[in-house]
Structure 1
């Protein structure tokens, strides 16, 4: 009797609990709703593949300022770290001894001219007298010979005067190159000598600048045979520059020279790129990376990196929204990274809806509720 009463009470309690569950709640407990995800619609486009090469900035011109005459530095005429133009005075050397040399050379020229005038008149008189038959032929020859000797002596004196003036002019040391001058390695009162080993200062031309990079000999052969140029026909082949802080340089450059020599130990060739540097941002010795065009892909897909992962076998995969809004897994073939995207050559197509957010809560075949979004621009690696 007690047992039957207990069963009746339990049945009534169960009916009461079941009565409180609405049909919609029962349906949600029986089957979960579609998982919301963010997608981006992919577009096929032509993509130029590039090769990233390490390099160093090199000044397009370097001039070491050295004295060409000896003397004491009396004045420095430039601001350290400032710009100079070719011909600008930079240092002055004590010029008194060189001024005296010019004065002495001018006196020698005057003396030589006086002697030449005298011997020229003597030769003219000798010619008149021999026409009259007064003097011998030998007298005329001696007069002409002395005149020629004095004419040669005048030329020597004039050359010595020119050399003395050149030395005097060199007491003002001028810039031989337009560019930026560094710090001065000498001071006022220092004794300098002609063509000394240590420069007084160094001038560097920084607009444009060169970027020297290295590339494998095999890739250089492709360039020389024309196969790379044919793949880039009609494509912008200018090169871009990435600075040491990861930022892209605003100016583009172009390859202007290639070293006709392969390094025996590394098997690479040095290439030279030229970049405009109007703001002086690029400095010689700075480490940079150059993105150089290699070939062009037709109808490639740029997939945001945040939407690409790795499977258990380490292969790159992506999840797209397929028919009936169900998740499809795609195995990818990736050519290279470009900014925040992967260049995909196989596995994704034009119009695919790539899932970029909500990847942790989905699986192949699961229903989803896609919502169009925008991929982030930050680079990421395959996970």
Structure 2
């Protein structure tokens, strides 16, 4: 009986030892790696209009300085400062009295010259038949002819003096040379103007349309030219521009007029000019604006959501993609333009890559993931991407 009990206890101990030895190995074998669910988007290409935003200044299309062209006393100001005027509108009236007297004097000089010429003409007519029969000497006839020509020249001179006097009388009424907006008056009634110099009286600026002058670096211009030449970008034929007034959301569309033919030696910038409608007069000369100018179209652009792009300690951009066997693979990329809530990726991704956009928190390279496709709506804030 004692032997049977000893055998049973030994058997139980052996089973327990066997179970204790097999337990942990069995659990480790049965534990499977858990795949983390993530959201991914498949990389595709699409056309992307590129643009640059550059600083610019508003300039008037035309500027006219209204000056006194004759001396005199200002008698009247006929405009409201800051108002719109049309070409030919009367702005100032200078005292015309001395100028009218000059006209009368010139008219008298012309009448006197005409009288002298008439007398000389009559003398020549009388001498002409007489000189043929030698009743009058040839010398007397030649002298009469010379007197006639001198009188005729005096008439032309008197006519010119009369025309000048009448022009000066007209200049007493100072009129707007162009249509536009007139600034403040620089002289007042009673002021003596035009005495020794042409006094500036007011300034008129044409504000519809207006120019916007801005600059672009030569390096950017050359890179754009090379990209167009290599076929990476296609040109934008309409040359459409848009401007935004600094500090506001006010925007307006315009067109590129020209690019300057010279480069500023000090800054390495090339000047450009755009033209914009300004019927409401919001754009004023000297106003600071941001000009968005087209830089071509990338027909094979790769765009990914902004949240998919992470920055390392070195500042380089990295995205997480689903690699072989559904494992996380970090990928260094080069970002380009921003379009709404998406980054343009110029290098590092190819069509078909699965970019992780959701579930990135705590994700480690090499980790197992369960990707699920998601649709990303691009929140585009402008028609063109901004460089």
Q: TM-score category by the smaller chain?
A: 0.7 to 0.9
User: What's the secondary structure of 1:252's corresponding residue?
Assistant: strand
User: In the alignment, is the contact (CA less than 8 A) between 1:228 and 1:294 conserved in 2?
Assistant: no
User: In the alignment, is the contact (CA less than 8 A) between 2:213 and 2:274 conserved in 1?
Assistant: yes
Alignment pair present for 1:146 and 2:150: no
User: In the alignment, is the contact (CA less than 8 A) between 2:95 and 2:172 conserved in 1?
Assistant: yes
User: In the alignment, is the contact (CA less than 8 A) between 1:73 and 1:94 conserved in 2?
Assistant: yes
Equivalence for 1:344: 345
User: What's the secondary structure of 1:176's corresponding residue?
Assistant: coil
- Distance, in Å, in 2 between the alignment partners of 1:175 and 1:254 is 30
TM-superposed CA distance for 1:169, in Å, is 0.4
The worse-fitting range, judged by mean Cα deviation, of 56-65 and 80-89 is 80-89
- Distance, in Å, in 1 between the alignment partners of 2:177 and 2:259 is 25
TM-superposed CA distance for 1:99, in Å, is 0.9
The worse-fitting range, judged by mean Cα deviation, of 280-289 and 296-305 is 296-305
- Distance, in Å, in 2 between the alignment partners of 1:322 and 1:198 is 79
User: In the alignment, is the contact (CA less than 8 A) between 1:130 and 1:140 conserved in 2?
Assistant: yes
The worse-fitting range, judged by mean Cα deviation, of 147-156 and 55-64 is 55-64
- Distance, in Å, in 1 between the alignment partners of 2:362 and 2:85 is 65
Q: 1:159 to 1:378 in 2, by over 3 A?
A: closer
TM-superposed CA distance for 1:373, in Å, is 5.9
CA deviations on 1:258-290 (whole Å, 9 max, x unpaired) are: 052432x32223233333333333222122233
CA deviations on 1:224-279 (whole Å, 9 max, x unpaired) are: xx64654555534433323212636321321413052432x322232333333333
- Distance, in Å, in 1 between the alignment partners of 2:247 and 2:360 is 31
Q: Give structure 2 stretches of 5+ with no counterpart.
A: 1-32, 383-387
> Pairwise mapping of residues 194-205 of structure 1 onto structure 2 (< 5 A)?
196=197, 199-205=200-206
Q: How many residues align?
A: 346
- Distance, in Å, in 1 between the alignment partners of 2:373 and 2:119 is 111
User: What's the secondary structure of 1:260's corresponding residue?
Assistant: strand
Equivalence for 1:96: 97
User: In the alignment, is the contact (CA less than 8 A) between 2:68 and 2:193 conserved in 1?
Assistant: yes
> Pairwise mapping of residues 327-366 of structure 1 onto structure 2 (< 5 A)?
330-348=331-349, 360=361, 365-366=368-369
User: In the alignment, is the contact (CA less than 8 A) between 1:57 and 1:288 conserved in 2?
Assistant: yes
- Distance, in Å, in 2 between the alignment partners of 1:189 and 1:284 is 31
User: In the alignment, is the contact (CA less than 8 A) between 1:333 and 1:346 conserved in 2?
Assistant: yes
Choose which of 253, 256, 260 in structure 2 pairs with 1:254: 256
Equivalence for 2:70: 69
- Distance, in Å, in 2 between the alignment partners of 1:340 and 1:273 is 29
- Distance, in Å, in 2 between the alignment partners of 1:261 and 1:319 is 44
User: In the alignment, is the contact (CA less than 8 A) between 2:228 and 2:235 conserved in 1?
Assistant: no
User: In the alignment, is the contact (CA less than 8 A) between 2:340 and 2:379 conserved in 1?
Assistant: no
- Distance, in Å, in 2 between the alignment partners of 1:286 and 1:353 is 47
The worse-fitting range, judged by mean Cα deviation, of 43-52 and 101-110 is 43-52
Equivalence for 1:244: 246
Q: Give structure 1 stretches of 5+ with no counterpart.
A: 1-30
The worse-fitting range, judged by mean Cα deviation, of 188-197 and 158-167 is 188-197
TM-superposed CA distance for 1:365, in Å, is 4.3
The worse-fitting range, judged by mean Cα deviation, of 324-333 and 151-160 is 324-333
Q: 1:355 to 1:167 in 2, by over 3 A?
A: farther
Q: 1:206 to 1:221 in 2, by over 3 A?
A: same
Equivalence for 1:173: 174
Question: What is the TM-score with the length of structure 1 in the denominator?
Answer: 0.75
User: What's the secondary structure of 1:113's corresponding residue?
Assistant: helix
User: What's the secondary structure of 2:70's corresponding residue?
Assistant: coil
Q: 1:198 to 1:308 in 2, by over 3 A?
A: farther
TM-superposed CA distance for 1:178, in Å, is 2.4
The worse-fitting range, judged by mean Cα deviation, of 89-98 and 346-355 is 346-355
TM-superposed CA distance for 1:151, in Å, is 0.8
User: In the alignment, is the contact (CA less than 8 A) between 2:107 and 2:162 conserved in 1?
Assistant: yes
What's the C-alpha RMSD, in Å, of the aligned pairs? 3.6
Q: 1:324 to 1:240 in 2, by over 3 A?
A: farther
Q: 1:212 to 1:300 in 2, by over 3 A?
A: same
Alignment pair present for 1:55 and 2:56: yes
Q: 1:34 to 1:221 in 2, by over 3 A?
A: closer
- Distance, in Å, in 1 between the alignment partners of 2:358 and 2:106 is 89
The worse-fitting range, judged by mean Cα deviation, of 114-123 and 321-330 is 321-330
User: What's the secondary structure of 2:104's corresponding residue?
Assistant: helix
TM-superposed CA distance for 1:135, in Å, is 1.3
Equivalence for 1:217: 218
Q: 1:324 to 1:95 in 2, by over 3 A?
A: farther
User: What's the secondary structure of 2:262's corresponding residue?
Assistant: coil
